[in-house]
Chains A and B, each alone.
Chain A
Amino acid sequence: MEIAFTILLFIALVATAIAIVFIKRLFAVVMLSGVFSLLAALLFIVMDAVDVAFTEAAVGGGISSVLMLGTIALTARTQKQPERYSLVPLAIVLLTGAVLIYGTLDMPNFGSPDAPAQRHIGPEYIARTPTDIDVPNIVTAVLASYRGYDTLGEVVVVFTAGLGVILLLSGLGRRRGTPYPRGVSANRDQDNAQ
């Protein structure tokens, strides 16, 4: 039953991806990419990775779609037709895909107790969390406490991304003086801000 559901989800995932490639209306593409994320989230749930599924649904299905729509509103709503079709990108994609599939052949089976992920430090986290931290969700214990450094790094990544968008797009510099005439480099904004 679970295997049939997984196969069904993968077929739907591939069908969505193919539809995304062929559809030219970007609004439909954004909606389909949201569908893609929700299907991926369902797959993660089938694999018992609920925290990852939650993130995928919230970030991939929710906020990415909104930001993509915002981008479409600023740019164009249909994809440009290429001048001519070239086979080189297709060859590169097929080759990369083949290498990735070849790489999975050496990986342990899904859920295998002999997999390095199950034998390395995971069992220790599971054994120590009840006495060390005493929270029922071991994922939270690992993310926030055992791997606190990593999560701090992730937060700094999000912070830096936000900082970049604020500096580039929100036009903070212009508030400090009169708007520059056309042709004046935006760098002067930063110079004046210092």
Chain B
Amino acid sequence: MNDHHLILRVITRMLTGPILLFGLYVQFHGDYGPGGGFQAGVIFAVGFILYGIVFSLRDLRRLIPDWIIHKLVALGVLLYAGTGIVSMLLGANFLDYNPLAGTPIGGQHLGILLVEAGVGITVFAVMLAIYYAFAGRPPSLNDEDW
């Protein structure tokens, strides 16, 4: 795998950064245009998966070990539900973001940012976890078989 696919490897190196940047753009620009946590999480995961496919799963696993992925899977849901709990502790209904900041609109903006971040983190981590689980099993096909 390391002595061929030169073009793929060069292009992947060029593309990985912009893909991750685009994922962040979709994540944080979701209030203003199409996009949000779901799409951003998938795009962000694809950036890493592309790297894993073209280089090796071993390198990718060294970059983001399994235990970090497993923590992130839960962290996103906790962040989302935790935002709801905090708004409850501040005296409002579950997932009512108005009291999170000084003004109701500021609270809404902060709340949407937090829950979208939670969505993005969980989707990103689950996509990578599924990819690890499938690609981590011993391959039964050679390159030529495709």
Binding site for B on A (CB under 8 A): 27, 50-51, 53-55, 58-59, 62-63, 66-67, 70-75, 77, 132-137, 139-141, 143-145, 148-149, 151-152, 154-156, 158-159, 161-163, 165-166, 168-170
Contacts and interface: CB of A to CB of B under 8 A. Distances in A.
Interface in B44-81: 45-46, 49, 53, 66, 70, 73-74, 76-77, 80-81
Contact of A165 (B53, B115, B130, B141): B130
Contact of B115 (A50, A54, A137, A144): A144
Contacts of B126: 158-159, 161-162, 165
A168 B133 CA distance: 9
Interface of B: 26, 30-36, 38-39, 42-43, 45-46, 49, 53, 66, 70, 73-74, 76-77, 80-81, 84, 94-95, 97, 104-105, 108-109, 111-112, 115-116, 118-119, 122-123, 125-127, 129-137, 139-141, 145-146
Nearest to A163: B73
A165 to B, nearest CB: 5
A148 B116 CA distance: 10
Contact of B145 (A63, A77, A136): A77
Q: Is the interface of A mostly helix, strand, loop or mixed?
A: helix
A66 B139 CA distance: 15
A140 B70 CA distance: 27
A77 B143 CA distance: 12
Q: Is the interface of B mostly helix, strand, loop or mixed?
A: helix
Contacts of B134: 67, 70-71, 73-74, 169
B28 to A, nearest CB: 11
Contact of A27 (B80, B136, B139, B146): B146
A122 to B, nearest CB: 18
22 contacts: A27-B146, A51-B36, A55-B38, A58-B43, A59-B38, A66-B46, A71-B134, A73-B140, A74-B140, A133-B112, A134-B109, A135-B31, A137-B32, A140-B30, A140-B116, A143-B36, A144-B36, A144-B112, A148-B84, A156-B77, A162-B130, A166-B133
